[in-house]
Structure 1
């Protein structure tokens, strides 16, 4: 594991946070850029309603504004090896290929030769096109379409592949509303010998209805008890909620000696400015 900060757990978690945006969020990035610390890592999605031009434009803007672009590569959305190489070559030509996040992606069936993120990593093509750091996914509450033993096997396989290829990596988790399974999962990751730094997925401030919609889509637990702990009101779906309770609870549970390097990754759900404002205010208060 990488070196562990001696600062308070809350400060440590909030250092070097990362953000996520879609290819359609260019105008929103422009609105938020003055609130985002220089050098912040910003992941750029690889969704079905985006194309190569949109993804590249978003990643270029992230770099142009002084941040670190982390383009996503969705394995099952790639129709061929040629499509993967076209994307990597375009990233390399723009100088934005150093960091990528490789994920299986939403399609139930592969559009081409890659069934999962590990199959992309094992091609060796990422390094050939200048990739120097690879993010992979983690699921503290499991995955609605993948059995838990397969999730663990995949994570261990990705960690081993990165070690074999001498590439540093990071695990970025799905967001959630309950700290308990997150901490248990981190401990299980470490117990399995996986020492990659971890970025815990956190929802940016958003309307309760919107948060519930995304939670249902990704299989995230939203029982009444969990909602109450997080600060969500299931009887007032018109309200809004931020992750302050979640982050403070995580900070109290976080032990760098046992859990290694842990940071936060904010899913902005299109609200880049709202999330950036919230983070800036929260850091100021803490």
Structure 2
């Protein structure tokens, strides 16, 4: 992309102006290492994985805040064993001053481990704002979900948006990552037609090994290997190589129309590569 082109300007001044990152509770040392390459005030989501405990999640959110960033702890509805578990987590976040922003998602377990079957069930409890939450992120799936029908996904999305509005909570949408811009932008347009007007953060894989990208793509049912390679610009013959989202972001910038798509930002799934991702963003913004 020509650094002076309109699409390049969109990438630099809009899509990447306020990008966000994702980390796990175990990534605190990697965040420490990357701290000087990440803009102050960057929103950093902290996942809620089954192999991490309460203390690890709270410690990670606290580290994000200590290093000058905005922590966005995840709440995985189906991983919560009880209301006590939810309140204990929220109380810990409030005590640490990290409760203002959270991201609520259904989570991976096929069956709930407690009383919350999905993100909407958590939101409807009213507990998050009782503990100081003022902004809730929710998830979107531009290319669908391998285990959930599209009609169910749309109903869940509009119901969550309505619940946030009813509780006067700010919110945004973070999408599952994809490799093809066309279905992403089509989904954004449909989201706006459905009346969901919150900012949308388009999920993008940070620079990562091709093999790892393909593993995650298979897990989430995001296209076929051949179509992903063609759209994203890497070779299936070189599974030991790495790939960045250069082509995807350029195509996103070229297709982005604020009048149809509303406010869009980018959310990077880092796969543990916080420094590699933040350095890549800095280079890409400079070079276009």
**TM-score, length basis structure 2:** 0.96
Counterpart selection for 1:182 from 184, 189, 200: 184
Counterpart selection for 1:71 from 65, 70, 73: 73
Q: CA deviation at 1:96?
A: 0.2
Counterpart selection for 2:262 from 250, 260, 263: 260
Range with bigger deviation, 213-222 or 42-51: 213-222
Q: CA deviation at 1:189?
A: 0.2
- The alignment partner of 2:26 has SS state of coil
Range with bigger deviation, 69-78 or 227-236: 227-236
Task: Indicate the RMSD between aligned Cα atoms, in angstroms.
Answer: 1.0
Is the Cα–Cα contact under 8 Å of residues 199 and 265 in structure 1 kept in the other structure? yes
Q: CA deviation at 1:232?
A: 1.9
Question: Which stretches in structure 2 are left out of the alignment for 5+ residues?
Answer: 1-7
Counterpart selection for 2:220 from 218, 221, 236: 218
Match of 2:279 in 1: 277
Match of 2:51 in 1: 49
Is the Cα–Cα contact under 8 Å of residues 9 and 255 in structure 1 kept in the other structure? no
Match of 1:39 in 2: 41
The equivalences for 1:244-259 within 5 A come to 244-259=246-261
- Residues 9-35 of structure 1 deviation map (CA, whole Å, 9 limit, x = unaligned): 222101100000000001100110100
- 1:102 paired with 2:99, answer no
- Residues 121-172 of structure 1 deviation map (CA, whole Å, 9 limit, x = unaligned): 0000011000000000000000011000000000000000011011110000
Is the Cα–Cα contact under 8 Å of residues 23 and 270 in structure 2 kept in the other structure? yes
Counterpart selection for 2:18 from 13, 16, 19: 16
The equivalences for 1:136-215 within 5 A come to 136-215=138-217
**TM-score, length basis structure 1:** 0.96
Q: How many residues align?
A: 280
- The alignment partner of 1:58 has SS state of helix
Following TM superposition, where does structure 1 have runs of at least 4 consecutive aligned residues deviating by more than 6 angstroms?
none
Structure 2: distance between partners of 1:255 and 1:135? 23
Structure 1: distance between partners of 2:44 and 2:250? 23
Counterpart selection for 1:91 from 87, 93, 118: 93
Match of 1:3 in 2: none
Structure 2: distance between partners of 1:208 and 1:266? 16
Is the Cα–Cα contact under 8 Å of residues 25 and 57 in structure 2 kept in the other structure? yes
- Residues 196-241 of structure 1 deviation map (CA, whole Å, 9 limit, x = unaligned): 1100000000000010111111111134133122112111101110
- 1:130 paired with 2:132, answer yes
Is the Cα–Cα contact under 8 Å of residues 204 and 271 in structure 1 kept in the other structure? yes
Structure 2: distance between partners of 1:259 and 1:273? 30
Structure 2: distance between partners of 1:128 and 1:230? 43
Is the Cα–Cα contact under 8 Å of residues 177 and 222 in structure 1 kept in the other structure? no
Question: Which stretches in structure 1 are left out of the alignment for 5+ residues?
Answer: 1-6
Structure 2: distance between partners of 1:208 and 1:19? 20
Match of 2:4 in 1: none
Match of 1:4 in 2: none
